[in-house]
Amino acid sequence: MTDRVCVGAIAGAFGVQGEVRLKSFCAIPEDIAAYGLLHTEDGRRSFSVTLTRPVKNGLAARLTDISTKEQADSLKGARLYADRDRMPPLPEDEFYHADLIGLEVRDTGGNLLGTVRAVQAFGAGDMLEIHGPGLKTTVLLPFTREAVPTVDIAAGRIVADPPEGLF
């Protein structure tokens, strides 16, 4: 889904009048309402988002055509995507997570370590989840300038200098 970027997810209903609890993945959480229509992952549904207030662990919002608690509950877990052309350009050393997934990861000597399966954000900094040849489980590589000195989206690769013993 390269023409869209995941900007949030619906955490369930908020109240009984169709509002949803929205978890924003944007650097400024309120920006989720600024990207126009947001689409479900399968593209079958689209919503305009009107934020109503901040709530614990997210934002309360109204979505077009959602007016009951049952309708809001049925959307729990749905990820919301914005059209890429509506997203702001990023500074030189920042990346959308969607652009990192699938990139090949090589060490500084050119040896293949694997590919990025996901980007995890646990609160203390992003981690690249890497799976590759000879790995029984995925490896979490800190997404820092020290551990990942080069990201080349155009070439489809990342050069990593992982901490000793990680791979």
Residue 31 is predicted with a pLDDT of: 94
Phi and psi angles of residue 114, each rounded to the nearest 5 degrees, phi first = 150, -155
**Selection from 35, 68, 69 nearest residue 49 by Cα:** 35
CATH assignment, 4-86: 2.40.30.60
pLDDT (0 to 100) of residue 123: 74
Give span(s): CATH 2.30.30.240, the chain.
97-160
CATH 2.40.30.60: which residues of the chain? 4-86
**How much is the pLDDT for 124?**
80
Enumerate residue ranges in the chain where pLDDT < 50: 1
3-class SS string, the chain: CCCEEEEEEEEEECCCCCCEEEEECCCCHHHHHHCCCEEECCCCCEECEEEEEEECCEEEEEECCCCCHHHHHHCCCCEEEEEHHHCCCCCCCCCCHHHHCCCEEEECCCCEEEEEEEEEECCCCEEEEEECCCCCCCEEEECCCCCCCEEECCCCEEEECCCCCCC
pLDDT reported for residue 115: 96
Considering the domain 97-160, what is its CATH architecture? Roll (2.30)
The number of beta carbons lying within 10 Å of the beta carbon of residue 142 is: 17
Q: Which two tokens stand for residue 131?
A: 């799976």
CB atoms near residue 1 (< 10 Å) = 12
